[in-house]
Amino acid sequence: MVATIFFSWQYTFVNNALDERYSRPLPDRDVLALTEVDVPPEEIEVRRRMEKVGYFMGIKEGFSFVDRLLGGSGEYQLNERRLDSALGDLRAIAGSTPAHKAALRRVVAAVQESGKTPWPPLVEPAREA
């Protein structure tokens, strides 16, 4: 007789990796410091890619209006390519498995529920996922 054991892993802030909402509010501390005990590993992967997108978005916002309007300097164009690559990576991971899709949707929903407006480049992959 073969016994099958099913594990129902429950994380600190998520009951199931496919949940699209947190089971309880996230802490006020740095959410990038969440561990695999707090959230599913797929969410950590998604958050790392979101952090990369945010980094390049921040650089983009630091360029002058003229650079952004005309696509000016080589540095600006290099950052645009890096941002496009980071967004592509986010879209790819968000669409790779149901758990990754749920993770991105969970993060975007939490931002919206907090009354903040998530960056449009992050909302789009959440809808597509």
Read off the pLDDT of residues 42-80 as tens digits, 9 standing for 90 and up. 999 999 999 999 899 888 888 887 777 776 778 888 999
Is the C-alpha dihedral spanning 101, 58, 65, 69 positive or negative? Answer: negative
Report if residue 17 sits inside a domain.
no
Helix, strand counts (H, E) of the chain: 5, 0
Report if residue 6 sits inside a domain.
no
Q: Do the beta carbons of residue 22 and residue 106 sit within 8 Å?
A: yes
Report if residue 3 sits inside a domain.
no
Report if residue 112 sits inside a domain.
yes
Report if residue 18 sits inside a domain.
no
Backbone angles phi, psi at 62, to 5 degrees: -80, -15
Q: What is the pLDDT of residue 71?
A: 66
Boundaries of domain holding 88: 39-128
CA distance 66 to 69: 5
Coil, strand, or helix at residue 12?
coil
Q: What is the pLDDT of residue 21?
A: 94
User: Residue 114 — pLDDT band, cuts 50, 70, 90?
Assistant: confident
Counting the structural domains of the chain, the total is: 1
Report if residue 66 sits inside a domain.
yes
Coil, strand, or helix at residue 42?
helix
pTM: 0.80
